[in-house]
Amino acid sequence: MKYSIVIVALLFFSASFSQNEKTASTQILIRCDDIGMSHSVNMAAEKVLQTGFPVSMSVMVPCSWFTEAAAMLKKYSNVSVGIHLTLNSEWKNYRWGPVSGANAVPSLIDSLGNFFPSRSLLFGNHPKLSEIETELRAQIERALKAGLKIDYLDYHMGAAVQTLETRAIVEKLAAEYKLAISRYFNEDGIDIGYFASPANKSDTLMLRTKTFKEGGIKLFVFHVGLDTPELAAMEDLNPFGPKEMSKHRNAELNALLSIPFQQFLHDKKYRLVNYKMLMNEKGLQAMKRPMIE
C-alpha cells in the first residue's frame, strides 16, 4: 500500500518530464545498477520503472535472476538498458560464474568456477585479455538473445575497466555493437551517499541536489533493493562493503522515490534523460574516454 500511494503521486510528476526543454542547462541521468542480481533487486527496479520517468538500468547477465530482469525490462518504454559488464561475484553463499563457461575462460574463475569476489583477486590471477573479451562479448550476446534492446555498457565494480588494456576491450565492444559507454558523455558523478546510514539516505541525497554545480549532465547512481529475507541473507565478501546491505538498498529506493527528490527532478531548470536519449541526441561520436572514474 505504501509504495502504491507513492507511485500514484510520482505519476503526477512524471507526466510533465517530457515538457522540459532540451536546452535546459542541467540534465539529470538516473542509473540503477545490479538489475538481475536478485529477485528483491528486480522488484525494487520495477517500482522505479512504474513511475514512468526516463531511467537507465544496468543489468547483470551472469546472475540467476537475469531472465526475470530481461522480461521485466522489455515491458517498459521509459528505460534505457545497459549491460553491467560483470567479472566479479562478491556475495558469500551466492556466487555466479562466466556466461561463456568455465572451460572458455579459466583465468577468470576460482577453483569452484565462480568469478573472484574482488578486483584484486581477479587481477592477481593474471586474467588473459582474450578471455576477458570472450566473456564480455558472451554477456552482450546473451542479453541480445534474450530480446533486450541494449543502449550502453557499464561495468560492475569497475573490473572491466581496471587497466588501459581492459578498457580498450570495452571500447572495442561498444564500437562493434554500436553502444554507448556510461561516463563517456562527460557525466559528472554525484555521490548520493552510498555509505550513509539507511536512516540518512534521503537527507544525504537531498543535500547533494542542493550543492552540485549546475550545468552539464549529472549522473546519480542508485543500488535499489527491497529489504527482504532473500536480500538480507547476502553478505559481501569484501570488507569495504556496507553491512546490512538490504537495508541500504531499500533506503536508496525510498530516497529515489521520495516526493522531495521527485520534486527536484520536476524542477524546470532540469531535464531528466537516459542513455538512449543521449545516444539519439548527441550521437556515439560525442563519446570520450573519461580522465577520472
Burial class (CB in 10 A: 0-12, 13-18, 19+), 109: buried
* Predicted TM-score (pTM) above 0.85: yes
Tens digits of pLDDT across the chain (293 residues): 455 545 444 554 554 554 455 567 899 999 999 999 999 999 999 999 999 999 999 999 999 999 999 999 999 999 999 999 999 999 999 999 999 999 999 999 999 999 999 999 999 999 999 999 999 999 999 999 999 999 999 999 999 999 999 999 999 999 999 999 999 999 999 999 999 999 999 999 999 999 999 999 999 999 999 999 999 999 999 998 888 999 999 999 999 999 999 999 999 999 999 999 999 999 999 999 998 65
| Phi/psi of residue 290, nearest 5 degrees | -70, 150
Cα end-to-end distance, the chain, whole Å: 39
Give the domains, in start order, of the chain with CATH numbers: 2-14+24-286 (3.20.20.370)
| Phi/psi of residue 269, nearest 5 degrees | -70, -20
Identify whether the C-beta of residue 218 lies closer than 8 Å to the C-beta of residue 28. Answer: yes
DSSP run (H or E) holding 235: strand 235-236
